[in-house]
């Protein structure tokens, strides 16, 4: 098939979910299909990964959308448009023109678009098309609302209103939709929705026993993302002091790009390191003996959990963090929703390397069998065929 992939963010480096998913789709599906990639980017430095994507694409087209232009879009168009603010943020006349020109000059069999942010560009397009939402923004925003102060809460409430209305209609504009969990599917009232769980590159994310990492805890992810910020602050404030009292040698690594000011300030406390950007997530995870994901908000499926499990780390998360991951509690992952239980569970794992090791081995085995990018790609191809032949 001749495929046009459209992304709102250049899919490399692999720092966020909306980069990781399209990267692995391109990596695998390009073996059997001819792929043209069209992507927005904000800063020239974001295109340093072009060479990493060239082997997967016949051609790559990029259009710059500077942050100031996005801010102007929201400020000027927001009061007069019913579109979600994040869709307005990613509006670009040059990008729309590029799409129209590509469609006029090429005979694509199908368009695969990522995220609700680019959906408005394709509402008028008659080429068979699917939209990979990853997760429902309605669920994401509902959980974030309770965590925000009044000024931001008002803005998020308005965005939630727009998102609910838009997600209810999104199926009218696309032949098929993809989300990562059943929870997200239930919030999108359309029959043309498939659930395809996230995958993990288990050849890259694998156990590493080369160095001593006793009593090291890690929290990983994009540390400019509000649900991650809230989660790590909750852990540091409510759990870490209790854990240190029981295991004085314990330390916490907060690993991820774009750490907020509040996250950076956590490094002032004894036993806490904030890494900022780093080259290799597997190598960073290898420094720890336990991974945590104490999520208090957010939606979808957590990459941080699956990656840590693939590395053979025992993971402690909340029910919300577990989401639609089907791992068995107590056997493949640990679940704790209160600060008291979360701290106690971490302490028990720190004190029992045997139990932690068994949990980590079970965790990797679970990921190997249930979160495979190759299997996910096959499911995507089945959707391609269904959409094309249905037309």
Residues 6 or more apart whose CB falls under 8 angstroms from that of 102 comprise 4, 36, 38, 61, 108
Do 363 and 381 have their domain in common?
no
Domain assignment present for residue 354? The answer is yes
- Position 338 in a domain: yes
Q: Report pLDDT digits (tens) over 1-34.
A: 999 999 999 999 887 788 999 999 999 999 999 9
- Residue 227 inside a domain? The answer is yes
pLDDT at 213 over 70: no
Query: What are the angstrom distances between the C-alpha of 376 and each of 22, 55, 340, 371, 372?
Result: 12, 20, 37, 8, 6
What is the band of 391 on the pLDDT scale with cuts at 50, 70, 90? low
Same domain, 242 and 376: no
Beta carbons of 83 and 166 less than 8 angstroms apart: yes
What is the tens place of the pLDDT at every residue in 312-327? Answer: 999 999 999 998 899 9
Structural domains of the chain, count: 2
Q: pLDDT tens, 49-102?
A: 899 999 999 999 999 999 999 999 999 999 999 999 999 999 999 999 999 999
Average pLDDT, the chain: 91
Whether 376 and 362 map to the same domain: the answer is: no
Of 92-101, 130-139, 373-382, the one with minimum mean pLDDT is 130-139
Q: Which domain covers residue 293, as residue numbers?
A: 216-370
State whether 175 and 225 are in the same domain: no
Res. 189: pLDDT tops 90: no
CA distance 181 to 323: 8
**The overall pTM is greater than 0.75:** yes
For β-strands 2-7 and 176-179, DSSP reports them as unpaired
CATH number at residue 39: 3.40.50.2000
Which DSSP state fits 155?
A: H
Token pair, residue 68, equals 């100031």
301 confidence band (pLDDT: 50, 70, 90):
confident
| pLDDT the model gives residue 144 | 74
Residue 323: predicted pLDDT = 86
Flag whether 208 is in a domain: no
Which pLDDT does position 279 carry in this prediction? 73
* Cβ neighbours of residue 269 closer than 8 Å, sequence gap 6 or more: 236, 240
Q: Is residue 210 part of a domain?
A: no
In a domain, 264, yes or no: yes
**Stretch 255-272: mean pLDDT:** 93
Mean pLDDT of 326-346: 96
Q: Is residue 205 part of a domain?
A: no
């Amino acid at each position: 098939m001749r495929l046009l992939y459209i992304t709102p963010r250049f899919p490399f480096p692999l720092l966020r979910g909306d980069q990781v998913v399209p990267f692995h789709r391109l990596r695998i599906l390009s073996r059997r299909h001819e792929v043209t990639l069209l992507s927005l980017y904000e800063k020239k430095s974001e295109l340093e990964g072009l060479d990493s994507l060239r082997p997967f694409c016949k051609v790559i087209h990029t259009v710059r959308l500077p942050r100031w232009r996005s801010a102007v879009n929201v400020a000027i168009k927001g009061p007069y448009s019913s579109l979600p603010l994040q869709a307005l943020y990613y509006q670009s006349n040059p990008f729309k023109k590029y799409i129209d020109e590509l469609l006029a000059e090429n005979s694509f069999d199908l368009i695969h678009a990522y995220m609700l942010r680019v959906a408005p560009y394709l509402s008028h397009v008659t080429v068979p098309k699917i939209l990979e939402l990853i997760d429902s923004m309605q669920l994401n925003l509902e959980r974030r609302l309770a965590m925000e102060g009044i000024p931001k809460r008002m803005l998020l409430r308005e965005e939630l209103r727009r998102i609910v209305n838009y997600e209810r209609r999104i199926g009218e504009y696309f032949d098929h939709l993809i989300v990562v969990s059943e929870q997200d599917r239930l919030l999108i009232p359309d029959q043309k929705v498939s659930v395809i769980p996230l995958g993990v590159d288990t050849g890259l994310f694998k156990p590493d026993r080369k160095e001593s990492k006793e009593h090291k805890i890690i929290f990983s992810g994009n540390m400019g993302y509000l649900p991650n910020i809230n989660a790590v602050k909750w852990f540091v404030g409510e759990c870490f002091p209790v854990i240190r009292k029981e295991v004085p040698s314990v330390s916490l690594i907060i690993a991820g790009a774009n750490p907020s000011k509040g996250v950076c300030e956590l490094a002032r406390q004894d036993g806490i390191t904030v890494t900022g950007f780093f080259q290799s997530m597997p190598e960073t995870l290898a420094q720890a003996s336990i991974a945590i994901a104490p999520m208090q908000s957010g939606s979808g499926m957590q990459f941080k959990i699956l990656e840590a499990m693939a590395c053979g780390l025992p993971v402690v998360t909340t029910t919300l963090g577990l989401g639609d991951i089907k791992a068995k509690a107590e056997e493949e992952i640990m679940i704790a929703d209160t600060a008291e239980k979360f701290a106690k569970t971490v302490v028990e794992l720190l004190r029992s390397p045997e139990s932690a090791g068994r949990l980590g081995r079970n965790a990797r085995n679970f990921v190997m069998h249930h979160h495979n990018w190759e299997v996910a790609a096959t499911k995507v191809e089945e959707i391609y065929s269904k959409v094309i032949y249905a037309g």
